[in-house]
Amino acid sequence: MHADSWALKAKKLGFRSRAVFKLEEILTKTKALKNNSFVLDIGSAPGGWSELIKAMTPSSHVYAIDLLPMDPINGVMFFQEDIMDIDEIKEISSLKSKFNLVISDLAPNLTGIRAVDEENIFDLNIFTLKAALNYLSKSNGSFIIKTFQNSLLKKLRTEMEKSFHLVQTYKPAASKSKSGEIYLYGEGPL
Ligand SMILES: C[S@@+](CC[C@H](N)C(=O)[O-])C[C@H]1O[C@@H](n2cnc3c(N)ncnc32)[C@H](O)[C@@H]1O
């Protein structure tokens, strides 16, 4: 399907972004989302992923963080904060090791200088990975992170492999082939 058709489909179904279909495909394949889960949505605005989690599992407890504001979603606790300050959010930091699923759609601002952008993406991804490991349940935790196909992707995947029993790479159909975005999945924190 063409990228615009995904956007149209999202609008028709009442979702805020076409990013929902990328997450939906990964969740369907991995079966990572269960009823009554604690879910942490990092880089959540405008809110498509949080909406999808609540639509798929209304009993889930969703906590969402973004630098930008986000219109309220029923049953989603939103914090307008930098991910770097996650430990300062007491409602979230009191749930360390309690989350069943951490999803990150974060993307840093790009400078246009390839080497700098690749480093910035890598650093943000590594910070997010470490935060996810802090907040995920050891016995039942999964992590989905958006990243980009670049020279540091292999290094990131290696870090994921050191952190999870199972690691997989996904390129969902709804992700524009030109965009270079790609998703890593980790299951079972080590
Ligand atoms: C692609 S959008 C997320 C789309 C969302 N998953 C959806 O389905 O609606 C990426 C988001 O990451 C946020 N972001 C980037 N850097 C961040 C940071 N350091 N802390 C928190 N959010 C950040 C941006 O503000 C932006 O809203």
- Record the tokens describing residue 134, joined without a space: 């802090």
Q: Please state, as a whole number, how many other Cβ atoms lie within 10 Å of the Cβ of residue 114.
A: 11
Q: Please state, as a whole number, how many other Cβ atoms lie within 10 Å of the Cβ of residue 96.
A: 12
33: domain CATH number is 3.40.50.150
pTM of the model: 0.96
Question: How many structural domains is the chain composed of?
Answer: 1
Ligand 1 centroid to 175 CA: how many Å? 16
The pLDDT tens digits of the residues spanning 54-97 come to 999 999 999 999 999 999 999 999 999 999 999 999 999 999 99
Measured between alpha carbons, how far is 115 from 140 in angstroms, rounded to an integer?
A: 36
Report whether residue 109 contacts ligand 1, using a CB cutoff of 6 Å: no
Measured between alpha carbons, how far is 66 from 79 in angstroms, rounded to an integer?
A: 7
Average pLDDT, the chain: 95
Measured between alpha carbons, how far is 172 from 181 in angstroms, rounded to an integer?
A: 10
Catalytic residue positions? 146
Ligand 1 centroid to 183 CA: how many Å? 15
The residues facing 77 across adjacent strands are: 63
- Residue whose CA lies nearest to ligand 1 atom number 16: 108
Q: Which of 11, 18, 20, 44 to mutate to test the pocket of ligand 1 (most atoms within 8 A of CB)?
A: 44
Q: Which residues contact 84 (CB under 8 A, 6 or more apart)?
A: 127
162 alpha-carbon distance from chain centroid: 19
Report whether residue 65 contacts ligand 1, using a CB cutoff of 6 Å: yes
- Helical ranges in the chain per DSSP H: 3-13, 19-30, 48-56, 90-93, 114-135, 153-163
- Residue whose CA lies nearest to ligand 1 atom number 27: 45
pLDDT, position 5: 84
Q: Which residue range is the domain that position 162 belongs to?
A: 3-189
The pLDDT tens digits of the residues spanning 106-115 come to 988 999 999 9
Measured between alpha carbons, how far is 72 from 101 in angstroms, rounded to an integer?
A: 21
The pLDDT tens digits of the residues spanning 6-31 come to 888 888 888 888 899 999 999 999 99
Half-sphere exposure of residue 104: CA atoms within 13 angstroms, side-chain side: 27
